[in-house]
Amino acid sequence: MQTVSFCFPKICFLDWNNWYKDRRIIGAGIGGRGKETQMTQPGQKRNYQREMEQIMEREGREGRIPSLLLHSCCAPCSSYVLEYLSRYFDITVYYYNPNIAPKEEYETRVKEQERLIREMGLQRPVKFLAGEYVPEDFYAAAKGHEADPEGGERCVRCYELRLAHAAGVAARGGYDYFTTTLSISPLKNADKLNEIGARLGDQWGVPYLLSDFKKKNGYKRSVQLSAEYGLYRQDYCGCVFSQAEARARKSAGNGR
């Protein structure tokens, strides 16, 4: 495993609300090699798993092993994604998660990610790229939405923050695609993740690999792999707000 430290050029999030709104008004889509025409009827859900398979099938017919920058939220969520995608892509795991708190928790998750990559013995070597840990960027993005429930606007802004950095790194690094492991969680909105990723891909000129990794029992397989490798599995998403919610649920379950 090759480990590379990377510091993304600073983005000023002091005026996050305007930054965020400006990007949301740009239409979603996929550019470059990843562009697929997907016709859906009104009210019909898109099958992101099938769209991803179509992209991989096309790349296979062309005899290519495209490069993929895979944003990872944690080792457990990345386990199945790495097992699945390493057959089709030359993968670099990009670990950028400034939402995680406290710092000790962040460091624990980083080490587990690196250990998993070393121990999995995947079909192709996987590189590891560490983003900069700047919690202030997350708090700027979440400002005004601290009390939102998990899955609300605060989380959407967190998706945007992390995927924006991933898109920039993918573009500057010349990757063929970028995507995230986040959609493997039953608690994460795949529609929103793909909408944000595709829009950012258009802005940066690098295709977002549409995905919904919870499909085909992806989440179940990630639980199995986590047990197999003895991975540390956290009981909250990462930020202090989700940690407080997790503690409240636990207390309620204990009757306190």
Residues in the chain: 256
Residue 181's SS3 state is coil
Helices and strands (DSSP H and E) totals, the chain: 9, 5
Cα separation of 142 and 146, whole Å?
A: 6
Per the CB < 8 A criterion, the answer to whether 152 and 248 are in contact is no
Token couple for 137:
């960027």
> Residue 173 corresponds to which tokens in the numbers above?
């690094």
Task: Extract the annotated binding site.
Answer: 73-74, 155, 158
Fold of the 3-8+64-253 domain = Rossmann fold (3.40.50)
Q: How far apart are CA 95 and CA 63, in angstroms?
A: 29
Closest of 62, 63, 84, 100 to residue 179, by C-alpha: 84
* DSSP symbols for 94-139: EE--TT--SHHHHHHHHHHHHHHHHHH--SS--EEEEPP--HHHHH
Other beta carbons within 10 Å of 167: 25
Q: Tell me how far apart the alpha carbons of residues 105 and 96 are, in angstroms, rounded to a whole number.
A: 14
Residue ranges at the known binding site for [4Fe-4S] cluster = 73-74, 155, 158
Residue 31: both structure tokens together = 């550019």
Check residue 40 and give its pLDDT. Answer: 55
Sheet holding 177-180, edge to edge: 3-5, 127-130, 90-95, 67-71, 177-180
- The whole-angstrom separation of Cα 254 and Cα 250 is 6
Contact 154, 145 (CB under 8 A): yes
Which residue's entry shows tokens 């010349």? 174
**b/e map 77-87, b = 16+ CB within 10 Å:** bbbbbbbbbbe
| pLDDT by position in tens, the chain (length 256) | 654 444 444 443 334 444 444 444 333 333 445 554 454 556 678 999 999 999 999 999 999 999 999 999 999 999 999 999 999 999 999 999 999 999 999 999 999 999 999 999 998 999 999 999 999 999 999 999 999 998 999 999 999 999 999 999 999 999 999 999 999 999 999 999 999 999 999 999 999 999 999 999 999 999 999 999 999 998 888 999 988 887 877 777 764 4
pLDDT of residue 20: 46
Contact 183, 49 (CB under 8 A): no
What does 49-92 look like in DSSP terms, one character per residue?
HHHHHHHHHHHHHTT---EEEEE-S-HHHHHHHHHHHTTT-EEE
Are the C-beta atoms of 75 and 232 separated by less than 8 Å? yes
What pLDDT score was predicted for residue 156?
Answer: 97
